[in-house]
Amino acid sequence: MTTTHHYDILIIGSGTAGLTLALHMANDARVAVISKGQLEEGASLYAQGGISVVLDKTDSIQSHIDDTLKAGAGLCNEKTVRFTVEHARENIEWLIDQGVSFTRDGITSETYHLTQEGGHSHRRIIHSADATGREVETTLLDKAKHHPNIELLPFHIGIDLITSRKHLGQDENRALGCYVLDIKNNETKTLIAPITVLATGGAGKVYLYTSNPDVSTGDGIAMGWRAGCRIANMEFIQFHPTCLFHPQAKSFLISEALRGEGARLILANGERFMDRFHPQGELAPRDVVARAIDHEMKRLGHDCVYLDISHKPATFIKEHFPTIYKRCLSFGIDITKQAIPVVPAAHYTCGGIKTDLKGRTDIPGLYAIGETAHTGLHGANRMASNSILECLVFAKSAADDIKEQLPLTISAIVPHWDDSQVRPAKEAVAISHNWDELRRCMWNYVGIVRKTDRLYRAKQRLSLLQAEIREYYAQHHISPDLLELRNLADVAELIIRSALKRKESRGLHYILDYPNTDESKPPTETIIQAKVADHEALL
């Protein structure tokens, strides 16, 4: 059974980017926001650091721009960087107006406390203790829940975008909405809207180890690509060096602050190894530490390395790291007495659907914002705390652009989702097996340190997996796991193809066959152009 629902704006994703856009548009249009899980579940909720913004008198817009350009290793779009930084303060003030409570310098202080993170030359990170993402997400969600023009649809997962070219046979490729699976009722829905916005976050779950929540399966990037959008810079995946290695831990980061207080990275035999890779040892830059750990794991064939702070007094550890101590203890690891098993983890997708400064994609009526989009802000490496800022700035910019187009209507009759030729699956082992194999393949062959032969090996194995997924998809009823697996496979292809195109090491892309940055020509984006016809078998 399929039902049809009409809206002015359909937003796929309920993180900071999606909710910000919804609230900016709600007084002018009827908005639907879908989320494939709980409404608040997503990477935004778990962002600990803060949001970068120039507030201190000793800081400047130009300094923030320069720091971002430097972090992006020559690949940032300077126009995008300037646009983002110049609009930071007004968007922070908007958050405050919504009720977001940022940490102040003191109980009675009127100024906000600012921290300084890697890559920043000044204190410019406004934050809410160490749970900024949670404060922002829950505040915006509460506002959205109480707005009469916003309909929130949890446990709804996008299947595919509806376009005039694919579904109506027209030459123009305009977005018309999205086919959606209502997970709780096991019902497909046709959601029609003249404006569709992809705000589904990143794709960290394409890797075996990730700091991202389970929902980060690259759905928006994959759907946009299948619809015909250009995808840029997918080779640049940011990895955090130390994620807790435990089967039940799921995405728990071990803060770099431990290494700042003397924690040592060691192998299973107790040997330290970071001094062999960088004069600063454990305090080397994040990408260096991640590559060193990856190298040792591959060299020895080990599943993890260890982070040891047990040489410090137990009272010191409990006082300075109470959350980490309690979380590790819940998994049977007493960090006052034993080392913590850790692995690097996929953390942030710097590439995505290519957009302009208004969030517009190649397809009229389709926008992409947040981690799903590639705006040119991050270049080859994202600077700390620029991610939520990007969500805010581009959600507001997209809203301003959409308002100029209203009112919009769709008069065409869109066909319902057709599942008359498929049957229920008798077992799900094929999906779970392919899901696991895909993520292990990406981790081992397309991870932190790459080699051309490993990339081709991954490409070959992925083509076999995609054939199996296509066959299964064509024969069986859809399920959330199947849809996510299909999207992960598409994202994996984009990452592999992008990595093979870049014949140099730059930023987050490090390849042993080309260990140096190519300075002989201006740096360029890696663009993957998909044609809808390439994916007919998947739709």
Q: To which residue do tokens 């290494």 refer?
A: 259
Q: To which residue do tokens 């990037």 refer?
A: 221
Q: What is the pLDDT of residue 183?
A: 95
3-class SS at 314? helix
Residue 414 lies in a domain: no
Give the Cα separation of 27 and 152 in Å (integer).
Answer: 16
Counted domains in the chain: 3
3-class SS at 74? coil
Per-residue DSSP letters for 481-505?
Answer: HHHHHHHHHHHHHHHHHHHHH--S-
Q: What is the pLDDT of residue 535?
A: 42
With CA atoms as reference, report the closest residue to 251 among 215, 289, 301. Answer: 215
286 included as an active-site residue: yes
Q: Are residues 116 and 9 both part of a single domain?
A: yes
Q: Are residues 119 and 178 both part of a single domain?
A: yes
Judging by DSSP bridges, how do beta strands 449-450 and 510-511 pair with one another?
parallel
Residue 98 lies in a domain: yes
Query: Could you tell me where the beta strands, DSSP code E, fall in 370-513?
Result: 373-374, 449-450, 510-511
User: Is residue 177 within 8 Å of residue 162, measured between CB atoms?
Assistant: yes
Q: How many C-alpha atoms does 121 have within 13 Å on its Cβ side?
A: 14
Chain mean pLDDT for the chain: 90
User: Is residue 165 within 8 Å of residue 173, measured between CB atoms?
Assistant: yes
Average pLDDT over residues 6-12: 97
Q: Of 346, 366, 390, which residue sits at a domain end?
A: 346
**Two tokens at 71?**
């972090």
Q: Are residues 249 and 386 both part of a single domain?
A: no
Give the Cα separation of 291 and 287 in Å (integer).
Answer: 6
What band does 68 get if pLDDT is binned at 50, 70 and 90? very high
Of 416-420, 443-447, 496-500, where does mean pLDDT reach its minimum?
Answer: 416-420
Q: Are residues 198 and 90 both part of a single domain?
A: yes
Q: Are residues 372 and 455 both part of a single domain?
A: no
Range of the domain at 471: 429-517+527-538
Question: Angle, nearest 10°, between helix axes 78-86 and 387-403?
Answer: 90
Torsion of CA 239, 209, 44, 484, to 10 degrees: 120
Q: What is the pLDDT of residue 537?
A: 35
Q: What is the pLDDT of residue 117?
A: 72
Give the Cα separation of 532 and 539 in Å (integer).
Answer: 9
What band does 377 get if pLDDT is binned at 50, 70 and 90? very high
**Two tokens at 256?**
């770099």
Q: Are residues 137 and 50 both part of a single domain?
A: yes
Q: Are residues 83 and 228 both part of a single domain?
A: yes
Any idea what the CATH number is for the domain that residue 302 is in?
A: 3.90.700.10
What band does 534 get if pLDDT is binned at 50, 70 and 90? very low
Q: What is the pLDDT of residue 30?
A: 97
Any idea what the CATH number is for the domain that residue 70 is in?
A: 3.50.50.60
User: Is residue 395 within 8 Å of residue 17, measured between CB atoms?
Assistant: yes
Residue 412 lies in a domain: no
Residue 417 lies in a domain: no
Query: Could you tell me where the beta strands, DSSP code E, fall in 164-302?
Result: 175-182, 187-192, 195-198, 230-232, 237-244, 264-266
Residue 37 lies in a domain: yes
Residue 411 lies in a domain: no
User: Is residue 422 within 8 Å of residue 474, measured between CB atoms?
Assistant: yes
Q: What is the pLDDT of residue 46?
A: 61
Q: Cα angle vertex 338, ends 332, 339, to 5°?
A: 100
Residue 466 lies in a domain: yes
Q: Of 299, 324, 346, which residue sits at a domain end?
A: 346
Q: What is the pLDDT of residue 410?
A: 85
**Two tokens at 354?**
């290519």
Specify which residues 349 forms β-bridges with: 237
Q: Are residues 503 and 386 both part of a single domain?
A: no
- Provide φ and ψ at 437, rounded to 5°: -65, -40
- Provide φ and ψ at 108, rounded to 5°: -100, 5
286, 291, 486, 506: the catalytic one is 286
Helix (H) or strand (E) holding 157: strand 156-163
Q: What is the pLDDT of residue 258?
A: 83
Q: Are residues 138 and 219 both part of a single domain?
A: yes
Any idea what the CATH number is for the domain that residue 494 is in?
A: 1.20.58.100
Q: What is the pLDDT of residue 23?
A: 98
What band does 222 get if pLDDT is binned at 50, 70 and 90? very high
Q: Are residues 229 and 264 both part of a single domain?
A: no
88, pLDDT greater than 60: yes
| CB within 8 Å of 2: residues ≥ 6 apart | 187, 188, 189, 190, 416, 417
Give the Cα separation of 485 and 504 in Å (integer).
Answer: 30
| CB within 8 Å of 176: residues ≥ 6 apart | 162, 163, 164, 167, 168, 192, 193, 194, 196, 365, 410, 412, 414
Which has the higher per-residue pLDDT, 169 or 201?
201
Q: Are residues 323 and 363 both part of a single domain?
A: no
Residue 522 lies in a domain: no
Q: What is the pLDDT of residue 400?
A: 98
User: Is residue 297 within 8 Å of residue 268, measured between CB atoms?
Assistant: no
Q: Are residues 66 and 105 both part of a single domain?
A: yes
Residue 424 gets which letter from DSSP? -
What band does 42 get if pLDDT is binned at 50, 70 and 90? low
Specify which residues 510 forms β-bridges with: 449
Specify which residues 151 forms β-bridges with: 32
User: Is residue 393 within 8 Å of residue 84, measured between CB atoms?
Assistant: yes
Q: What is the pLDDT of residue 539?
A: 34
3-class SS at 354? strand
